[in-house]
Structure 1
Amino acid sequence: MSETIKKRSTAVTPRGINHLVLNVRDMEESHHFWCNLLGFRQVGALDSEKYDVPPVKMQFYSGVIDDVNHHDVALVELPNLPAPPEQWDMFESACAVNHIAISYPDRESWLEQVQFLKENDVPMNLRVDHGMTHSVYVNDPNGYGVEVLYELPAEVWDHDINGALNYAKILPEEDLLVDTTEYETNFSNV
């Protein structure tokens, strides 16, 4: 007996992005970045011998495991990838992926994470207060930009999502760990 599936005239709205797969040059170097520096944990590895594919190193990583998501990021080792750019740049990068946003649970854990990254000599490319997040941009060893962020309370931005998306206050490097909870809410006047 076949199931009747509702015919639609528009696409179904997805829940969101389930996971991202990144090609990396060196698995150990990338594993260190994603696990030891960003806090993900490895939850699996591809056993390519089970499949009709060339031998490949592929590892799976997760932040919080819940009933919806099994992994957030997967890494595939391709040693012949081009070298990353000398300096990460959001608008001039040669990488096809502009940046990946990693969300931390709250302001306090985000501040602890940013301090941890700084203490571990991860270069800080940019510190930005957006209308819906406060963010620090770093990059992984392959040149992929990584936005380390925490979400501001919805009442700060949900009345004007477009305004919040277009709001960006760039902070100087010396203010990397300076964060305020006096959030901007009137984006049209900024």
Structure 2
Amino acid sequence: MNTPRPLKIDRIHHVAYRCKDAKQTVEWYGRMLKMDFMLAIAEDRVPSTKAPDPYMHIFLDAGSGNVLAFFELPTQPEMGRDPNTPAWVQHIAFRVADRETLLAYKAHLEAEGVEVLGVTDHGAFHSIYMFDPNGHRVELACPDPEEADMLRRMDEVKWKMLEDWSLTKRAPKHAAFFHEREFKPAAEATR
């Protein structure tokens, strides 16, 4: 008798966003973030709904089996943002190996004329932020040397934090340690 396998997600197959121009998007991610162009699919009808809606669907290698995809939809109204959601909320974050790599990306992006925010110290990780040519916010993050301890401590309080948030809609202070350590001066943080 075969025992059914438990339901469990293996990993993300791909994450898809809309883009204004597929070629520009492939070139930007290749030049700025060093992602390889993997695949392009173009159809005149949506395979799942059969709706007549021509599209170009592009796929980029985001490392370690992760795939970032985009759709260019030339017959649809111009893409926009949800006006009720701040621009910093919806984003995609990519992990880089370490702070040295993060700082090298920051220098590379700035040399290419990309406006970069950060380095921001989040406790367990450090991040820089920018926008792609489609207006999507992109984050690059590297682990902090104390990442394992910070994440262990965060894990211990996650359910209590979620329950308290659910009841009050106010930031619980169970993990205040996450942002309360001594921060480096801004000049030192960008080195």
TM-score range, shorter chain: 0.5 to 0.7
After TM superposition, the score normalised by the length of structure 2 is 0.67
The CA RMSD measured in Å over matched residues stands at: 3.4
Deviation at 1:5, TM superposition (A): 1.9
Kept in 2, the 8 Å contact 1:128–1:170? The answer is no
The higher radius of gyration belongs to 2
Q: Which moved more, 1:116-125 or 1:13-22?
A: 13-22
Greater percentage in helix: 2
Residue by residue, what CA displacement relative to the aligned partner does 1:18-38 show, whole Å, maximum 9, x if unpaired?
A: 421010111122222211101
The equivalent of 2:63 in structure 1 is 64
Q: Which one of the candidate residues 147, 150, 154 is aligned to 1:157?
A: 150
1:108 to partner: Cα distance: 2.1
Matching of residue 21 in structure 1 with residue 16 in structure 2: yes
Cα distance in 2 for residues equivalent to 1:170 and 1:77 = 42
Q: TM-score, normalised by structure 1?
A: 0.67
Is this contact kept in 2: 1:27–1:77, CA < 8 A? yes
Is residue 24–residue 76 contact of structure 1 (8 Å, CA) maintained in 2?
Answer: yes
**Contact 1:58 / 1:76 at 8 angstroms: preserved in 2?**
yes
Number of aligned residue pairs: 161
Amino acid of the residue matched to residue 57 of structure 2? M
* CA distance in structure 2 between the aligned counterparts of 1:19 and 1:164, rounded to whole angstroms: 33
CA distance in 1, matches of 2:141, 2:190: 12
Q: Percent identity?
A: 22
Corresponding residue to 2:190 among 169, 177, 180: 177
| Residue 41 (str. 1) matches residue 36 (str. 2) | yes
Q: Which of 112, 123, 144 is residue 136 of structure 2 equivalent to?
A: 144
Q: Structure 1 residue 61: deviation in Å?
A: 0.6
1:120 equivalenced with 2:100 (yes/no): no
> How many angstroms apart in 1 are the aligned matches of 2:73 and 2:9?
30
Other-structure match for 2:78: 81
Structure 2 unaligned runs (5+)? 159-174
